[in-house]
Amino acid sequence: MSATTEKRRVTCIVCPSGCRINVEIEGGKIIEISGNQCKRGADYATTEVTQPMRVLTTTVRLENGRLLPVKTSHPIPKALLFDAIKELSGVVVKPPVKMGQVVYSNVAGTGVDVVATRSWD
Amino acid sequence: MVDVVIIGGGVVGCMIARELSRYQLKTVLLEKEDDVASGTSKANSAIVHAGYDPKPGTLKAKLNVRGNPLFDKICSELDVPFKRIGSLVVSLTEEEDRVLEELLERGKKNGVPGLKIINREELLKMEPNVNKKARAALYAPTAGIICPYELTIALAENACQNGVEIKLNSKVVGIKVVNNGELAVMTPTETIHTRYVINAAGLYADEISKMAGAEEYRITPRKGEYLLFDKRFGNIVNRIIFPTPSKISKGILVCPTVDGNFFIGPNSNDVTEKDDVAVTPEGIEEIIKGAQKLVPELPLNHVITSFAGLRAVSDTDDFIIGASKKVRGFINVGGIQSPGLSAAPAIAEMVLEILKEEGLSLKEKRDYNPERPRVYKFRQMNNEERRELIRKNPAYGRVICRCETVTEGEIIDAIRRPVGARSLDAVKRRTRAGMGRCQGGFCSPRVIEILSRELGISPLEITKCGCGSEILKGRTKEFIETGGVVDAK
Amino acid sequence: MQNRELVIIGGGPAGLSAAVEARRLGIEDVLVIDRESEPGGILKQCIHTGFGLHIFKEELTGPEYAERFIRKAEALGVEIMLDTMVIELTSDRRIVAVNGREGLVEIQAKAIILAMGCRERTRGAIKIPGFRPAGIFTAGTAQRFVNIEGYMPGCEIVILGSGDIGLIMARRLTLEGAKVRCVVEIMPYSNGLTRNIVQCLEDYSIPLLLKHTVVNIHGKKRVEGVTIAEVDDEMKPIMETAQFIPCDTLLLSVGLIPENELSRMAGIEIDDVTGGPVVNQRLETSVPGIFACGNVLHVHDLVDFVTQEAMEAARGVASYLADGGKKYDHIPVTAGEGLRYVLPQRINVEAMTGEKQNFFMRCARPMARARLYVESERGVIESRLLSHVKPSEMISIKLGRDELKGVKMLKFILQEEGDKIECND
Ligand SMILES: Cc1cc2nc3c(=O)[nH]c(=O)nc-3n(C[C@H](O)[C@H](O)[C@H](O)COP(=O)(O)OP(=O)(O)OC[C@H]3O[C@@H](n4cnc5c(N)ncnc54)[C@H](O)[C@@H]3O)c2cc1C
Ligand SMILES: Cc1cc2nc3c(=O)[nH]c(=O)nc-3n(C[C@H](O)[C@H](O)[C@H](O)COP(=O)(O)OP(=O)(O)OC[C@H]3O[C@@H](n4cnc5c(N)ncnc54)[C@H](O)[C@@H]3O)c2cc1C
Ligand code: SF4
């Protein structure tokens, strides 16, 4: 086995079995996936190893000093979560706001919108 | 120049302050913490003892028996609940039966009224949850329960109302004799010149006495730990249930509180530090074992909090009360361990006598008012009274602490009164907000909000119990342009 | 004194769902009372996703889930009385509530649904020794400070208990710039969803220490650290393994307790295991005309089940109002081996509100594969194979009227199955 082989462990969350999946990577390519009980697990593990994605939920400031809960409308790369939250720390929203309204676009350059998760009059 | 400086805002200092507020004097009370009742007076068994326990002839015995009957009047003047529920010392062995006899004798010598020994049947009828193996009990009808910090706060408020100046966050760091008949008391921020100093500094009375160059004695801290139970089980016992006493303490007891909870404790262990109020696993085990001897079925799943208090044990093993022979105008009130709470009214009387002997002339004030303005307690009012109160002030219609049903009106009142609350614990001691089964989980964010609004300071400056105990560490990122968490300070 | 048809105490997801369903069933006069200034209950502060997968088939955040129900309730003409705390409840269905506007509000209701939710277990409840400084919060209180008020409870944090609220807060505080040192769990397994362990802890390399607990809290004014130690099989700390962890904050995520002060006041029978009222097939408590659902009945992990249960309670109220409070006999429903409890605790098959009866239960310990047996006096009447049961995840099953006809008792049993056995039914 060459020295560039990397082993990663992923806990599958697709179903309650919670399989511990082992992924072997060589030269940036996945060469083996084991420990999963089904194909969905393999797909999940592949994304987790190559480009894990998460929905970010946080709050932004309202002009009235209160907090507005928000989320990204789609998952964004896990690696960009901290960048996204930093970018959002400067955002101030003027009420009224409707649930689902976009309050920020293209967060951290992902092309994903950030939407309000509640209304505020 | 003032007439009297009292050092220490415990029950003893505050009782003396209120006593002095009857007279035309300039009195200042200095307390190092951010509130009165921050020392031993906030964590003890809260019993106004009958007085059969202390050795005849000691100050403890004399002042306990003298102090006990004074509580009814003081408490009604100050609107502080006091319940004379009586106490029972339970014997479980033949040997302990003899101890009961001894206590009865001692009690008679001390002048305690109404003592009698009751048999097993009578005992179990009065207290069905007491150990069925009990043989007999010494019944003392004059023993009572009180909330010690509520009393202390009420005393301070009333003293303040009558002109005593109460200075919090004022730790005494030096005392000097300026010239004959004048003492200078120093805190980090000021120096107060006075004719008399009363040392009621509790655990630190030895250090204060030494600081002034007066008599030297030693106070060692002896810890007592407690577990407090949910109100739902408050009637597990109706009276104070003691085991037979040991040499050093009255033992681990089971006792109702005036607020309807009950507690078990205290144990009795010497510790080295005067602020070591940490609860220990061994301590918890010890008090559970001890209390189970008296009441075997304890609802251990319904403990709502644990706490510890420190007894100020002097090397003479009695109260040390008297004018210094070395420093004129300096009066020690030290070593006030149990039954210090019960004796406090009599201690104050005695201190007054001493002051007189030392040349202080006491002229009564015309406008002295022994009554403290009423404290509205929503949870204790009937619906008619509640309706009336909310009509006058809608803040009494907003419930902030759901476990103890404390309203915003009560919290605002606690902050605005004389010697007003400045921290979460101070609000808690005055209103019970946060003392219920959720222990402030629900109401602390709201109490912080009210404190910050009333005091005009940021929520970040609100403390649990004075400087260094800030509750929040900063704002979330949303409020900080640069990102990152800033420290409260 | 006002006269009302249905009063719902609590405007969280349970109260709102019950109100919506009650209106749909044609109950005209529905009043929801909540002590907060906005409806939504605990969901207002649960800004993370994970709500509504069963009910809406999409993943919503707590506020979104709440807002959907608030809108429905408003559209259906449900009256919501806010900033109003119910302080008294009697067994003849009289309510006293208090607010600053009207003072005391007295109501006589035909039917009442209890939906008061739950509160968090505290340090006292689990008796952790040490000092009592600032910096000890329950996870839910910390959640409120961060998500509603915008304040940080601490910078360096240890979390005791691996319940979902604690896990969610571990991530939230990390994203806000705090350092979460570890999550300490006394059990050999976590009480949270695997998904939360992965996405809230593993994503941020936060260690989860199983079979560990906090044995001491240090710091006189503010928390300065905690001592943690491994525990043995009896859950007693092994002091040789004690280690000091510096931190300024301890979050407790050690469980929830149904909030039943009012129920007790009304003399409602409470189940020692669930901490909530004993109920029958239509979620009616031991006091006729008073119903219960949501966290006040038993602690839920999924809000979707809360909604389902609340709808059941609303159907129960409708049947109660229709039959005029007729008295029924009940057969007992009990939890046997492998289960902590089963709800409802008693049923009357004839009076079931639908063709199927929902049973909610919690297992006593995690099992990879387990078989659930339903026994009557005649023996096993039903069995189902379940995989991956955990005490933290509620089991819900439905039994049909036909299966239940004529039985005199029901007992539910959960038995672990060996790995080899494949689905054999
Ligand atoms: C476990 C336990 C159980 C008890 N049970 C009972 C009982 O049931 N009945 C009973 O009668 N008694 C009981 N006692 C005794 C009773 O609690 C005490 O006697 C009483 O509270 C002592 O009050 P104090 O004012 O002297 O002391 P404290 O309340 O300690 O007050 C002293 C004050 O002085 C302040 N201070 C100290 N140094 C300085 C300084 N340098 N500058 C300014 N201020 C300073 C402190 O901060 C403190 O607030 C019990 C005691 C303990 C520990
Ligand atoms: C801190 C915390 C975090 C949680 N996080 C999650 C999560 O992430 N995901 C998840 O699926 N579940 C979570 N849960 C579980 C969640 O609580 C339930 O799924 C659901 O919210 C319970 O709904 P409920 O309506 O029964 O209770 P609640 O939402 O608690 O609502 C009860 C309502 O009743 C009101 N009320 C109570 N007593 C009175 C009274 N006397 N008078 C007037 N009003 C009253 C309260 O103010 C409250 O608004 C969490 C629970 C808590 C406590
Ligand atoms: S691999 Fe398949 S079986 Fe295993 S957890 Fe993932 S989805 Fe479930």
Q: What is the CATH number of the domain that holds A31?
A: 2.20.25
Q: Considering the domain boundaries, does residue A105 fall inside one? A: yes
Nearest of B15, B336, B29 to residue B204 by alpha carbon: B336
Residue C368 pLDDT level (bands cut at 50, 70, 90)? confident
| Mean pLDDT along residues B177-199 | 95
pLDDT in tens, A13-23: 888 778 889 99
Range C386-410 average pLDDT = 91
Question: Do C322 and C336 share a domain, yes or no?
Answer: no
- For B230-302, strand residue ranges (E) read 240-242, 253-256, 262-265, 269-270
Cβ proximity of B431 and B424 under 8 Å = no
Q: Phi first, then psi: what are they for C8, rounded to 5°?
A: -110, 120
| Position A14 in a domain | yes
The answer to whether C120 touches C140, Cβ cutoff 8 Å, is yes
Please answer yes or no on whether A71 and C61 come within 8 Å at the CB atom: yes
Ligand index nearest the alpha carbon of residue A13: 3
CA-nearest of C220, C171, C214 to C49 is C171
Q: How confident is the model at residue A3 (pLDDT cuts 50, 70, 90)?
A: low
**pLDDT one-digit tens code per residue, C103-162:** 999 999 999 999 999 999 876 656 788 888 999 999 999 999 999 999 999 999 999 999
CATH code at position B351: 3.50.50.60
Task: Compute the half-sphere exposure of residue C10: CA atoms within 13 Å on the CB side of its CA.
Answer: 30
Summarize pLDDT for A24-52 with one digit per residue, the tens. 998 888 999 999 999 999 999 999 999 99
The Cα B409–Cα B407 span in angstroms is 5
Question: C254, C273, C293 — which closes off a domain?
Answer: C254
**Residue C325 pLDDT exceeds 90:** no
Q: Determine the pLDDT at residue B32.
A: 97
Orientation of helix A81-88 relative to helix C164-175, angle to 10°: 70
> What local confidence, expressed as pLDDT, does residue C153 receive?
96
Summarize the confidence of residues C366-373 as an average pLDDT.
Answer: 92
Q: What is the mean pLDDT of residues C320-341?
A: 92
Give the count of domains, chain A: 2
Q: Are B29 and B14 in contact (CB under 8 A)?
A: yes
Same-domain pairing of B366 and B389: no
Contacts of B308 (CB under 8 A, 6+ apart): B43, B223, B224, B225, B226, B266, B277, B278, B279, B283
**B29 and B163 share a domain?**
yes
CA dihedral (A31, A33, A39, A41) in degrees, to 10, reads -130
Which neighbouring-strand residues pair with A23? A8, A33
pLDDT computed for residue A13 by the predictor? 86
How confident is residue A119, by pLDDT bands cut at 50, 70 and 90? very high
- Which chain A positions have a beta carbon within 8 Å of C66's beta carbon? 118
Same domain assignment for residues A66 and A107: yes
Closest residue in chain A to residue C144, using alpha carbons only: A67
Q: Tell me if A25 is assigned to some domain.
A: yes
Give the residues across from C338 on adjacent strands. Answer: none
Structural domain includes residue B244: no
**Model pTM?**
0.91
Same domain, B224 and B304: yes
Residues paired with B401 in a beta bridge = B406
Query: Is C289 close to ligand 2, i.e. is its CB under 6 Å away?
Result: no
Instruction: Say which of B18, B22, B42, B49 is annotated catalytic.
Output: B49
Q: Is the confidence at residue B388, as pLDDT, over 90?
A: yes
Structural domain total, chain C: 3
**Nearest alpha carbon, ligand 2 atom 3:** C165
- Separation between Cα atoms, residue B61 and residue B346, nearest integer Å: 11
d(CA C310, nearest CA chain A) in Å: 23
A-C C-beta contacts closer than 8 Å = 61
Which whole number is the average pLDDT over B44-68? 97
**Which residue bears the tokens 């400070």?**
C145
Q: Clarify whether B49 is annotated catalytic.
A: yes
Asked if residue A41 and residue A23 are part of one domain, the reply reads yes
pLDDT, position A6? 87
Query: What is the token pair recorded at B225?
Result: 């730990």
DSSP secondary structure string for all residues of C146-196: IIII-EES-SEEEEE---HHHHHHHHHHHHTT-EEEEEE-SSSS-SS-HHH
**Percent of chain B residues past pLDDT 70, beyond the cut:** 98
Q: Whose CA is nearest to atom 48 of ligand 1?
A: B39
Q: Decide if B16 is inside a domain.
A: yes
H-helix or E-strand spanning residue B6? strand B2-7
Number of domains in chain B: 2
Reading phi first (left if > 0) and then psi (alpha if -120 to 50, else beta), residue C119 is in beta
Same domain as A67, residue A109: yes
> Whose atoms come closest to the Cα of B13: which ligand?
1
- DSSP assignments along chain A, one per residue: --TTEEEEEEE--SSTT--EEEEEEETTEEEEEES-SSHHHHHHHHHHHH--EE--EEEEEETTS-EEEEEESS-EEGGGHHHHHHHHTT-EEPSPB-TT-EEE-SGGGSS--EEESS-B-
pLDDT score for C126: 64
Judgement on whether residues A36 and A72 belong to the same structural domain of the protein: no
Tell me the per-residue pLDDT of B396-440, one tens digit each, with 9 for 90 and over.
999 999 888 999 999 999 999 999 999 999 999 999 998 877 787
Contacts of A88 in chain B (CB under 8 A): 477-478
Q: Which of B323, B353, B374 is the last residue of a domain?
A: B374
Domain-ending residue, one of B374, B389, B424: B374
CA distances from B263 to B237, B300, B303, B356 (A): 10, 11, 9, 41
Counting every residue, how long is chain B?
489
CA dihedral angle for residue C168, residue C174, residue C177, residue C183, rounded to 10 degrees: 100
Instruction: Please report which helix (H) or strand (E) contains residue B62, including its range.
Output: helix B59-67
How far is Cα C243 from Cα C250, in angstroms, rounded to an integer? 15
Is pLDDT of B481 > 70? no
Residues C84 and C200 in one domain: no
Based on the fold, state whether residues C242 and C305 are members of the same structural domain.
Answer: no
Q: Which residues line ligand 1 (CB under 6 A)?
A: B 7-13, 30-33, 38-41, 44-47, 49, 171-172, 200-204, 208, 224, 266, 309-311, 336-342
Supply the CATH number for residue A69's domain: 3.10.530.10
Testing ligand 1's pocket by substitution, the residue of B14, B320, B341 carrying the most ligand atoms inside 8 A of its CB is B341
Query: Which of C327, C347, C369 is at the close of a domain?
Result: C327
Does residue C102 sit in the same domain as residue C55? yes
C114 and C64 in a single domain? The answer is yes
**Residues B419, B461 share a domain:** yes
The domain that holds C270 is classified in CATH as: 3.50.50.60
Q: Tell me what pLDDT residue C419 has.
A: 54
Is residue B181 in some structural domain? yes
> Does one domain contain both A40 and A69?
no
- Say whether both A26 and A65 belong to one domain: no
Q: What are phi and psi of B81, to 5 degrees?
A: -65, 135
Average pLDDT for chain A = 91
pLDDT at residue number C425: 34
Q: Provide the domain limits for residue B466.
A: 378-481
Q: Which residue, A50, A69, A87, sits at the end of a domain? A: A50
Domain of residue A89: give its range. 57-116
Nearest CA to ligand 2 atom 49: C41
**Of B330, B356, B374, which marks where a domain is finished?**
B374
Calpha distance C293→C113 (Å, rounded): 7
Which range scores top for mean pLDDT: C6-15, C233-242, C297-306? C6-15
pLDDT at residue C324, as a whole number: 83
What three-state secondary structure class fits B174? strand
pLDDT higher than threshold 50 for residue B483? no
Cα–Cα distance between C276 and B318 in angstroms, integer?
A: 52
B407 and B368 together in one domain = no
Q: Looking at the predicted structure, is the pLDDT value of residue C61 above 90? A: yes
Residue B485: pLDDT above 50?
no
End-to-end CA distance of chain B: 36
Q: What is the mean pLDDT of residues B261-266?
A: 96
B301 & B418 share domain: no
* Residues of chain B contacting residue A61, judged by C-beta atoms under 8 Å apart: 478-479
Statement: residue B486 has pLDDT above 80: no
Contact A117 C61 (CB under 8 A): yes
Residue A121 within a domain = no
pLDDT digits (tens, 9 = 90+) for B103-139: 999 999 999 999 999 999 999 999 999 999 999 999 9
Question: Residue C281's domain spans which residues?
Answer: 1-119+256-327
Q: Does one domain contain both B367 and B432?
A: no
Average pLDDT over residues C208-213: 96
Measured distance CA(B14)–CA(B31) in Å, rounded: 10
Task: Write the ipTM.
Answer: 0.91
Q: Do C13 and C112 share a structural domain?
A: yes
- On whether both B226 and B342 belong to a single domain, the answer is yes
Burial classification of residue C418, based on how many CB atoms lie within 10 Å of its CB (0-12 exposed, 13-18 middle, 19 or more buried): exposed
CB pair distance less than 8 Å for A86 and B477: yes
Inter-residue contact A67 to A90 (CB < 8 Å): no
Residues of chain B neighbouring A59 (CB-CB closer than 8 A) = 476, 478
Which residue in chain A is spatially nearest to B481 when comparing CA positions? Answer: A90
- Please, are residues A49 and A65 in contact by the beta-carbon 8 Å criterion? no
By the CB < 8 Å criterion, does A102 face chain B?
A: no
The reply to whether A75 falls in a domain is yes
Does B323 have pLDDT greater than 50?
A: yes
